[in-house]
A and B are shown apart, each in its own frame.
Chain A
C-alpha cells in the first residue's frame, strides 16, 4: 500500500484525523520528509508493531474529548454539557473515603505502614467481593483477582490468551474488546466497506433480536466478550438468554469473558453475574469494576473472577496462567484504593453507594422520558446508565456533530462502538441533575425546532 514509509503525526488536538506525511529513508539512520527537505532526525531500525498500524483511529473516548475541546475553542462561552464519556460525577460517600483517609494516615506509622501487597489483591477484599457478589454461586476468594479496573483487566486477559485466538464481540460493544484484540494480534486488517476487522466475529445486537445475538448464525470463536448490562445499548441479558450463551460456549468449547461492570444498575430480575447460570463456571471469566457503582473511575479498582474449573483444551487451569500474568505484568491495585473498596462492600458501604446508582438511574429516567416524549425510539436507561437513541437512516457521527453544534451537548456516536451502532446515539446518564434536566430541555427544543 505504501511505496515509501509513512509517517503520521498528530500535531495537536486540532487534527481529528491525522495528516499523513510521506517519509523516505535516506540512510540507515536518518529520515526526511519527502518533497520537503526537512530532516526529522535519527530513525531507529525497530519496526513499528503492525498490529498498532491496523487500528483505525485513536481510542474512541479520547476522540470524543478532542471533539469537545475543539468545540470549546469555537464556543468558549458555551455551557457544554457532557453526556458523552461515561464518567461519574457524584462524590464518593464519606464512609468510603474516610476509610481511605484512615489507611493513608496509617502508612505514615510504623504499625500501619504496608509495602507490596499480594498481586492478587488483599485477602479481606477478595473475600468481601466473593460474599457481596458471588455468595450463592460457589466462587472462592482464591478465584477473585483484584485489579486497577476492567479496562486494564481486558488487556491482561488478552495477554493471557495470546494472539492465536479469535474473539466474538457484541456489535455494538465497549471498544476495548476489539481494540485490545487488534493490539495483541488476534485480528486481521480493518475492512472499510464493512467497518469491521477481519477475524473478529461481530454479533449484531439490535432491537429486532432483543439485543441478543442470533447465536445459530455465529461462527465458533475461542473467546466471546459479552457485556451485560450492555454498554452502549443498556440491555441486560435475561436468564434465558444467558443460558443460551453458556450452552453455546459449552458446545463450541469457547470461553466467555463476561463484563458485569454495570450489574449494580439492574432493576429487574436479570442476572447480575454469569455464575448465576449453571455450568458457567466451566466456560466463563467475569470482569467487573468499582468505577460505575462507587464512583471509582479515577480511584481505580476492579476485579476478575477465574474459576478453578475453567480449563484449557489440554486440561490446564486458566487461573494458574492468569495468576502468572498478574504476578509478572502487574503489581497489585493501590493498597489505599483497596481499603476504599473494602469499605464499599460493608453493609453500610453498599447502602451508601446504592444512592449513587439511584441518582444516575433517576438521570436516566429523565432522559428516557424526555426523548420518548419527542417520539424517538429509545432503548436502555432501565438496567444501565446509558440511553440508546435511534435516529433511523442517519450517520451517527453526523447526529453527534449536529447535537453538539446546536445544543452544546456531548454524546457518543453509536458507530464508535461498532458498525451495529450506526444510526444510534449513546447518551450517558452520569452528570449533575440540573445539567441532565437542562440537557433534556435543550434536546427537546432542538427536536421541536427540527420538526417545525
Chain B
C-alpha cells in the first residue's frame, strides 16, 4: 500500500521501556498510516495505549535487538518529512480512484524538459568520460573552478563575492544539513513561520531543539518568526529573542513573498546587532518580477553576517539532476574570529565528495548566455502558470498571496484546517496541493498551490477549482 517501504512491526513491550515505546509507536504509527496522519501530532501520549493498530507478531518477542540507543533527536520528529507524506497521500488517492486524472500541484517538482543547450553539455561530458583525454576522476570538493567562476560572475558580479567564496553542491537541501553539521548542536535557529520544512527538521536532527510542543505545534528552542498577510510576510524582528542562526528564504517557499530591500536591510541590521548569522535561501530568486533584491549580498554589510544558498533545481529543471551552491564570504566570522568558510570547507571535504561532474557540466552550460536565456524562458513559462492559478483563485473570491515572485500561490482558507482543505481538494478535484500547516503553525488556514506543471494540466486544475468553489 502506497510507495513507502513496508516495515515489520517489531515491538517488544517491556515495562522498563514502555514510555519510550509508546513515543516511538506514535511516531511510527503516524508515519506509516494514512487516514489519521496529520501534519502534526495532536494525540496525547496516554491515548496511544488504547491504539491497538500496531501489531506484535509472535516472533517480535524474540527478535534480536542491538544495544545501540536510538538517536533521541530523530525520535523528536513528529512524522515523515512533509513531501514524502504528500506523495503517499497522492498514491493512496490513486489506489482509491485508479481512473482519476490526478494533477500534482503539491510537491514543487519541475515538469518541463531541460533546454537542449544544457543537456548537450551534459551529453558531451558523459561521453568524454569514456575517453582518455576526457576522463576525470575526483573533482575538487568545492566544485569545478569554471563553474564557481560562472556562478560568481552571473549572480554576484558587482557584489564583491569571489569565486572561492562559492561551494558547488548537489542541492540546497543537502547544503542545509551540511550547514547544520558545521554549526553543531549548541546553536539556536530562527525560522520564518511558515517555512520550508528542511530548516526545522534538520535543526531537530542536529540536536539543536527541544521536544515538540503539541499545543503550539512548535519545537522548543527554535524561534518561529510569524510571517502573515498582516505583517506583509516579514517578521516583527523586535519581538524575536536572539538566535544564533536565522534561516530566511526569499522569495519565500511557501508564501511566495519576496523581501524588499528595506526589509533585508532591517534583517541584516538585526543580525549585525545580535551577532547572528543569516542563512539566505535564494533558490527562487530568478522568479522575482520587480526589483526586490535577488541576493542578500546586495545589502551592504551582508557579507559579515550572511550565507547564501541556492539551487539549479527550479531554474533549470535540475530537481533530479542535482546541483546547487552555497556562498560563504571570507568576512563571515565566528565569535572567536575564525572564518566560517574554513569550517564549511572542512565539512565539504570530509562529509561530501563534490557534485557529479556531469551535473556540473550542465550547470556551466546553464550560465552561458544561451543557457541563461533558455532558463529564463522556462521560468517565464512557470510564471505564466502562476498567473493562471492566481487569477483563478482571485476570481473565486479567495485572498491570494505570492505568485508574483515565486512559482507558489498561497491561498487563504480562513478558519479551516489546512489538511482538511487539502483532503477536500484532493477528494473532489483530484488535484494534489500542499497543506499550509506542513510548513509550520503559521501556515494553518492556507494551501500552497505549486505552479510547476504542463500548461494543459494547470488549465485543467484551474477548471476543476472553479467547479469546486464556484
A contact set with B: CB distance below 8 Å: 5-10, 23, 25, 28-29, 31, 40-52, 55, 58-59, 61-62, 85, 87-94, 96-98, 100-101, 104-105, 107-110, 112-120, 142-143, 148-149, 151-152, 154-155, 159-165, 175-176, 179-180, 183-185, 222-223, 249-250, 252-255, 282-283, 295, 297-300, 308-317, 319-321, 323-325, 327-337, 340, 430
Contacts and interface: CB of A to CB of B under 8 A. Distances in A.
B130 A47 contact: no
A249 B131 CA distance: 45
Nearest to B357: A298
B184 interface: yes
B338 interface: yes
Contacts of B272: 29, 42
A99 to B, nearest CB: 9
A91 B130 contact: yes
Interface string B308-339: 00000000010111100000000111111111
A277 to B, nearest CB: 14
Nearest to A120: B5
A9 B319 CA distance: 36
Contacts of B112: 113
Contacts of B123: 101, 104-105
A315 to B, nearest CB: 5
B372 to A, nearest CB: 17
Interface stretch (B40-48, B59-67, B152-160, B433-441): B59-67
A91 B132 CA distance: 6
Contacts of B321: 107, 334-336
- Interface pairs A-B: 10 shortest CB-CB: A253-B67, A45-B275, A162-B71, A49-B184, A5-B336, A329-B177, A155-B351, A23-B337, A335-B320, A7-B337
Contact of B350 (A23, A46, A183, A222): A183
Contacts of A332: 320, 322
Interface of B: 3-8, 10-12, 17, 20-21, 24, 28, 31, 60, 63-74, 77, 80-81, 83-84, 107, 109-116, 119, 122-123, 126-127, 129-132, 134-139, 141, 170-171, 173-174, 176-177, 181-187, 198, 201-202, 205-207, 244-245, 271-272, 274-277, 301, 304-305, 317, 319-322, 331-339, 342-343, 346-347, 349-359, 452
B135 A148 contact: no
A329 B80 contact: no
B115 A108 contact: yes
Contacts of A164: 69, 71
B68 A47 contact: no
**Interface SS of B by simple majority:** loop
B137 A5 contact: no
Given A91-B131, A108-B115, A300 B28 contact: no
B66 A336 contact: no
A46 B187 contact: yes
Contacts of A176: 350-351
A58 B346 contact: yes
A91 B113 CA distance: 29
B349 A255 contact: no
Given A90-B135, A117-B320, A59 B81 contact: no
Nearest to A250: B64
A92 B66 CA distance: 41
